[in-house]
Structure 1
């Protein structure tokens, strides 16, 4: 089992090459084809100027955005050739969520970036919620790359956040190619009850049938939030990838982006594979 088609989202930000490096390494590992989709940012004046904006100003911003896209394309194609990865490139004026929902249904995994808290929020609106929106709506796993750090070989030590839920099971299944190539797999249970403890053992046995040796670890949250416990466990286990379900109800946005998912997406220290 492997990933054959990988979709990478790029846009106007300083982390484009780092995100591409992670996706290229993933494509190289699985001999997969990589499709990069670059979403052009909307002209920033449209978001904060109430007075008339001359068309020439908008045209200039669009031209500058396309020039930046071409620079990113040249670097991406050069890096793909150096890595020996078959790669395609496309540019769109669609919003990131619209473009990725359209293309993502026919790929095996989508690679996106964590939103940089210091970025200019007058452009590329919607990037903050993009990873969770995709994981909940797309039906494909979403690999989120942190906005800081370098992760060319993410997935050497994989930690699975396990509670026996449907979402967690879906995430494990979607991560199987990565689990098969990992050097170490840790199944982490936080404050498990008896049923969750047994399901973690059953998961380890199930993975063993696929040749994956996984260790089950239990920990307690105490006064800490579950998201913070996960972050601490990642550091203690020297994990370089977290696999977890994306939880919530699409009509209750505060639930979707509250709790564990929000903590991880805000404070992630390693790439996170989300699936719903």
Structure 2
């Protein structure tokens, strides 16, 4: 029931959208909230040293680690100020790490929580913070609530949309989102280009009805490349405050690559999205 929540506080981007959602959700759910911020170390400075040997390299790396830690501390201080004002149960953690290790560290930590809250990547901003949401989605084993960087205020989950295609990942996301669905005033199952199957949108509506959740199905047909846009259009027209969907990807040379609809949602989401992989 989302009693133990983790939130990633960016150290290189504005933090207000994710802080506001995380704190308000913690209050509403009477949860415990832990916040982590990562300061990213650059190894390029050490590579610029020609003379001086190991001592000089160690000094440069030490200074870079200190600067990275300061960036993480500054970001977490913004969160802690809001958490104290809200009088929630919370904890904080800051680390300095090279980018290659940062995603592994926070993903391992996220496995201990019911849900992790992250901020949508922003392609116009060059930041290692943009890489963290994808790392957590594929490696944490739990649901990820992604908050758009344009979002303001708390999460409004009164009307929840479920992007349904009958797949295992969609089913996983549906189960992970159950605490939100149980409290929603309206639930819409969105089926784009639906094909006949045992796990149809009508079957999901019936399944939710047996859980006491009154849902309706909305079906539409569109070009394959327009699926994400169609889902977001329905969300806007129906004033949905939360979308639920599976987080799709495939492995290439042991790296997780986002699937088409998931990648488009990462780029263009206009409402918070709960994803599961």
User: Into which bin does the TM-score normalised by the smaller protein fall?
Assistant: 0.7 to 0.9
Query: What is the CA–CA distance in structure 1 between the aligned matches of 2:196 and 2:218, rounded to whole Å?
Result: 14
Other structure's SS at 1:218 match: strand
Name the residue aligned to 1:24. Answer: 23
Rate the CA distance shift 1:49–1:154 in 2: closer, same or farther, 3 A.
farther
Name the residue aligned to 1:234. Answer: 235
Deviation at 1:58?
4.7
Query: What is the CA–CA distance in structure 2 between the aligned matches of 1:116 and 1:48, rounded to whole Å?
Result: 26
Name the residue aligned to 2:152. Answer: 150
TM-score w.r.t. the length of structure 1 is 0.87
Query: What is the CA–CA distance in structure 2 between the aligned matches of 1:214 and 1:157, rounded to whole Å?
Result: 10
Q: Does 1:273 align with 2:274?
A: yes
Contact 2:250–2:259, Cα closer than 8 Å, also in 1: no
1:105 corresponds to which of 99, 111, 114: 111
Name the residue aligned to 1:182. Answer: 184
Query: What is the CA–CA distance in structure 1 between the aligned matches of 2:130 and 2:34, rounded to whole Å?
Result: 22
Query: What is the CA–CA distance in structure 2 between the aligned matches of 1:74 and 1:200, rounded to whole Å?
Result: 45
Name the residue aligned to 2:49. Answer: 52
Name the residue aligned to 2:195. Answer: 193
Q: For residues 31-86 of structure 1, give each alpha carbon's deviation from its aligned partner in whole angstroms, at most 9, with x where no partner exists.
A: 1100111111113xx34885228655554443333333333333222211222310
Q: Does 1:62 align with 2:59?
A: no
Runs of 4+ in 1 over 6 A off after TM superposition: 252-255
Q: For residues 185-237 of structure 1, give each alpha carbon's deviation from its aligned partner in whole angstroms, at most 9, with x where no partner exists.
A: 110001112327x6211211221222211111011114752122122222122
Query: What is the CA–CA distance in structure 2 between the aligned matches of 1:144 and 1:214, rounded to whole Å?
Result: 23
Rate the CA distance shift 1:252–1:194 in 2: closer, same or farther, 3 A.
farther
Matches within 5 A, 1:258-269: 258-269=259-270
Contact 1:132–1:246, Cα closer than 8 Å, also in 2: no
2:120 corresponds to which of 114, 127, 130: 114
Query: What is the CA–CA distance in structure 2 between the aligned matches of 1:82 and 1:255, rounded to whole Å?
Result: 39
Q: Does 1:81 align with 2:84?
A: yes
Gaps of 5+ in 1: none
Query: What is the CA–CA distance in structure 1 between the aligned matches of 2:142 and 2:102, rounded to whole Å?
Result: 16
Name the residue aligned to 1:244. Answer: 245
Contact 1:135–1:275, Cα closer than 8 Å, also in 2: yes
Name the residue aligned to 1:212. Answer: 213
Query: What is the CA–CA distance in structure 1 between the aligned matches of 2:37 and 2:242, rounded to whole Å?
Result: 25
Contact 1:92–1:99, Cα closer than 8 Å, also in 2: no
Contact 1:11–1:41, Cα closer than 8 Å, also in 2: no
Rate the CA distance shift 1:30–1:230 in 2: closer, same or farther, 3 A.
same
Other structure's SS at 1:238 match: coil
Other structure's SS at 1:266 match: helix
Query: What is the CA–CA distance in structure 2 between the aligned matches of 1:173 and 1:129, rounded to whole Å?
Result: 26
Name the residue aligned to 1:134. Answer: 136
